[in-house]
A and B are shown apart, each in its own frame.
Chain A
Amino acid sequence: MSCFAGIDSGSWNTKTVVIDADGRVLGSAVVRSGADLAAAADRTFADALAKAGVASHEVSAIWATGFGRNSVAFAHGSRTELDCHGRGAAFYVKGPLVVIDIGGQDAKVIRLDAGGQRVSHRMNRKCAAGTGSFLDEIALRLGIGIGELDRLAAQSGEDVELSSFCTVFAGTELLTHIRAGKRPADLAKAAYRSLVKRVLAMDVFQGRVVATGGVVAFHPTMVKLLEAELRNPVIVPPHPQEMGAFGAALAARDGAASVGPA
């Protein structure tokens, strides 16, 4: 069997997806990137192969993506995460479409035309607001684990506004609300609403909208708020956290041209 693998070396997590020639996902794995990106890539690749029940010699091509894409020494090529998230989303949803990807350290808005060709992209500024780090900071301020934030927000009964542009200022604004007696559940939801507003200010959203990334995978409240703001359904494809790795695997399968340095 001919298989292909994609490795997304992200700022927080490294993800690997193994696919067959039809793009079916055979196995995937996610590990913390940590400080040794190469070791994380090795580990997640081995995990994904084990889950797929595939031997490494059966993998015809491996492509890397993510900010650590050049640290994956055994990859045969690389594409940016801008390409891979778009490529992965276009596999599931016909264009024209807009892909919103929210990761730990950055947020991206990627526009694809009817043929799935990328026509533009926007990335967040050098700032954590509008990224997963913002939610981590808010969870820390509320004294809960990041995994509890979504469940807490689901209990919200009152709309509270977090208006600060800056993650640090949003943290102090949160303290003001706590002193004013606002409920943690309402503040958790306010954090998601703030993140959504930051992302929606990055571009104009018309047509189908697809959301990917770790934040999307683990924070369904954010997706609901996104839909409410857009007044349109937001499509969350399968394995949203591994969408970059999936797109890289598709690039490996398709033999996409690698524009990176030789």
Chain B
Amino acid sequence: MNDERLRRADREGASATRLELVSTAALRQTMAAYYRSLGDAAERKTAPVAWCSSVGPAELLRALGFAVHFPENHAAMLGAARTANRYLPLAHAQGYSQDVCSYLTSDIGAHLAGETPLTAFGLKSTPRADVLVFNTNQCRDVRDWFEWYGRTWGVPVVGISSPRSIGDVLENDVDAVARQIESLVPALEQAAGTRLDDARLAAALGASRECSRLWQACLNTAARRPAPFTFFDGTVHMGPAVVLRGADEAAAYYRILLSELEQRVREGVAAVPGESLRLYWDGMPIWGRLRALSTTFAEFRTAVVASTYCNSWVLADLDPADPFRSIARASLELFIARSEEPKQRYLERMIDCYEVDGVVFHDCRTCPNNSNTRYGMPQRLTERLGIPTLVLDGDVNDLRCFSDEQARTNIEGFVEQLADARAASHQAARP
């Protein structure tokens, strides 16, 4: 019944919105169960609570029995709910600049206001941490963010000071990061009140690797024409890959999603009805405008089929047989930790794999580390591949840095350019 509905909508091309995935119901259940269990840990003390930066050593924390809270996920919820701008000034007044990460400032601001979207899942407040664990492979801000909470609650803050902007990942770097991860264990064991069990760590890594494999397979379906899945779907459906690393529930969800996406591929169902153009998104999502942007692209029959962001939770290097070094390698192989040259190689591969007509770069005002527009990348890609690029100015959470009208004109102008170029090339190809 649902398939028939999807096929009909695709044929008619009537809707200017993406087709909702049926799996979304299972996603909601999976995420709600995670939040409730986090609430139980924090408020009924069923487990110790660790905070972890998005690409921190989550598997190690899971193996030690922590309930793991990911504050970047929490901040993204504030952005998506468009409440972030209420909280930002509270953190700015504490001396945290308007120019630093608006995840950090909105999250701290929400804490100061005593508010959280997690109340929808029965939590009274953001879960209080027993320990906070950062990895600076993505930016320094996660450390500053966690240290604010560490000072506020008087709890330990530990982490990894990672090499950044690295070219090829060298064994020396892997060794150095692996040693740092191992050195966290005593402090984490103390906070957890238990000893690290090698078998549990291997199991957590196995679960994450399986989750990565399945998430990657879901993302890869968008290489097909028409794409059954878009970047905008990915920003929602990546939830389990972010917050349930090291837990079997993530892989269980992605089996459901992958099955639906493969069915869409078999039946030729497009996520964007009438898909005409295909784009790649680089940079952070603009959480408070995801729906609006998704609708705008869909109105122009343009599918944003892939992104660096959603692919950043594919941690293919995790290996239960070599836990510390593989966690280290996975954290260093990430796009965000790399220098311009490997980043460019990665983007070139993605452009080729997903057969996109153009690339949209989001220049995120408060996230310089994930804005790949500032050292000539769009120009180099256009020069090397002839691929058109568009830069949208905005921010991950601070909507004061985003202009709806300007973004719409930029997007529509870009679509016009790509459509005109395609029409001209078809005309030139006619005998």
A residues sitting closer than 8 Å to B (CB atoms) are 67, 79-83, 106, 115, 117-123, 125-126, 257, 259-261
Cβ-defined contact, B409 with A123, below 8 A: yes
Please, which residues of chain A bring their CB within 8 A of the CB of B340? none
Q: Does B112 have its Cβ within 8 Å of any Cβ on chain A?
A: no
Please, which residues of chain A bring their CB within 8 A of the CB of B413? 80-83, 121
Please, which residues of chain B bring their CB within 8 A of the CB of A119? 388, 417
Q: Does B416 have its Cβ within 8 Å of any Cβ on chain A?
A: yes
> By DSSP majority rule, is chain B's interface helix, strand, loop, or mixed?
helix
B residues sitting closer than 8 Å to A (CB atoms) are 16, 299-300, 382, 388-389, 391, 393, 401-403, 405-406, 409-410, 412-417, 419-421, 423-424
Give the complex CA separation of A67 and B300 in angstroms: 17
Least Cβ distance of B411 to chain A in Å? 9
Least Cβ distance of A58 to chain B in Å? 28
**Contact pick for B410, options A117, A118, A123, CB 8 Å:** A123
**Contact pick for A260, options B405, B412, B414, B424, CB 8 Å:** B412
Please, which residues of chain B bring their CB within 8 A of the CB of A260? 299-300, 412
Please, which residues of chain B bring their CB within 8 A of the CB of A122? 391
Give the complex CA separation of A14 and B409 in angstroms: 17
Least Cβ distance of A214 to chain B in Å? 17
Q: A117-B424, A118-B417, A120-B417 are in contact. List 19 more A-B contacts (CB 8 A).
A: A80-B409, A83-B416, A83-B420, A117-B420, A117-B421, A118-B416, A119-B388, A120-B388, A120-B389, A121-B410, A122-B391, A123-B406, A123-B409, A126-B401, A257-B420, A259-B412, A259-B415, A260-B412, A261-B16
Please, which residues of chain A bring their CB within 8 A of the CB of B412? 80, 259-260
How many pairs, one residue from A and one from B, have CB atoms within 8 Å of each other in the complex?
Answer: 59
Cβ-defined contact, B388 with A259, below 8 A: no
Asked, given contacts A119-B417, A121-B417, A259-B416, whether A82 binds B409 with beta carbons under 8 Å apart, the answer is yes
Cβ-defined contact, A118 with B420, below 8 A: yes
Asked, given contacts A117-B420, A119-B388, A126-B401, whether A81 binds B409 with beta carbons under 8 Å apart, the answer is yes
Identity of the chain A residue whose Cβ is nearest the Cβ of B412 in the assembled complex: A80
Give the complex CA separation of A117 and B425 in angstroms: 11
Please, which residues of chain A bring their CB within 8 A of the CB of B417? 82-83, 118-121
Least Cβ distance of A104 to chain B in Å? 13
Identity of the chain B residue whose Cβ is nearest the Cβ of A79 in the assembled complex: B416
Give the complex CA separation of A106 and B403 in angstroms: 12
Cβ-defined contact, B419 with A257, below 8 A: yes
Identity of the chain B residue whose Cβ is nearest the Cβ of A118 in the assembled complex: B417
**Contact pick for B403, options A80, A83, A126, CB 8 Å:** A126
Cβ-defined contact, A115 with B424, below 8 A: yes
Cβ-defined contact, A80 with B416, below 8 A: yes
Give the complex CA separation of A153 and B188 in angstroms: 68
Identity of the chain B residue whose Cβ is nearest the Cβ of A67 in the assembled complex: B405
Best-buried of A83, A120, A257 by chain B (most CB within 10 Å)? A120
Give the complex CA separation of A115 and B421 in angstroms: 11
Identity of the chain A residue whose Cβ is nearest the Cβ of B428 in the assembled complex: A115
Please, which residues of chain A bring their CB within 8 A of the CB of B403? 126
Cβ-defined contact, B416 with A126, below 8 A: no
Give the complex CA separation of A259 and B421 in angstroms: 13
Cross-chain pairs A/B with CB under 8 angstroms, 21 sampled:
A67-B405, A67-B409, A80-B412, A81-B409, A81-B413, A82-B409, A83-B417, A106-B406, A118-B416, A118-B417, A119-B388, A120-B382, A120-B388, A121-B410, A125-B393, A126-B393, A259-B300, A259-B415, A259-B416, A259-B419, A260-B412
